[in-house]
Amino acid sequence: MSARIEGRMEKRAFPARQWMVALSLLALAMSAPLAVQAAQPRPWLCRDKPVFSSPNQAQLTVRRHDRRQWEVFLMKFNINSGHDGFTVTSSYPLRGDSPSSAIVGRGQFYAVALFRANGHWFCPARVVDNTRPGELANFCYHANNPGLCDISLTASSNR
């Protein structure tokens, strides 16, 4: 009788190799959403969020001056919205040497540029506001070197 019970147990038990494979697959499945989440840009987390306001539509121009992969995000603030009160209203991926331009509606916009390195998005090290009278915005984003302008964003009234 005991020989039959032992035989049944042996058939039901997983060998050590199958347990290792099953646990590895489970760990991989659980870590996949974290890897995808880490690769998503989160501009609301950046410390420097320069802001500009436009009473009417505005002409926005963004230029990349280095080879990194950059994306510029415009956000609006509402204390009751999701990401610390910020909602992304538009984004502009920058590729190649040609500038990106767009018409944006009236309102107040927080302009954040992020660059991608090693599969993660990073906030710039420094943002300089070079806005002059008559301009709505003239921002310079520095990835690492404060002497260089890696991304420039200008906004002018579109009357």
Phi and psi at residue 95, to the nearest 5°: -135, 145
pLDDT digits (tens, 9 = 90+) for 51-84: 999 999 999 999 999 889 999 999 999 888 777 8
Reduced 3-state DSSP string for the chain: CHHHHHHHHHHHCCCHHHHHHHHHHHHHHHHHHHHHHHCCCCHHHCCCCCEEEECCCEEEEEEECCCCEEEEEEEEECCCCCECCEEEEEEEEECCCCCEEEEECCEEEEEEEEEEECCEEECCCEEEECCCCCCCEEEEEECCCCCCCCEEEEEEECC
Question: How confident is the model over 27-44, as a mean pLDDT?
Answer: 63
Cβ-contact 60, 106 below 8 angstroms: no
Question: How confident is the model over 4-16, as a mean pLDDT?
Answer: 54
Q: Average per-residue pLDDT in the chain? A: 83
**Confidence band (pLDDT; 50, 70, 90) for 158?**
confident
**Confidence band (pLDDT; 50, 70, 90) for 95?**
confident
- Of 108, 93, 113, the residue nearest 46 (C-alpha): 113
**Confidence band (pLDDT; 50, 70, 90) for 116?**
very high
pLDDT digits (tens, 9 = 90+) for 134-151: 899 999 999 987 778 999
**Confidence band (pLDDT; 50, 70, 90) for 28?**
low
With a cut of 60, say whether residue 37 has pLDDT above it: no
Given this model, what pLDDT does residue 159 score?
67
Given this model, what pLDDT does residue 88 score?
94
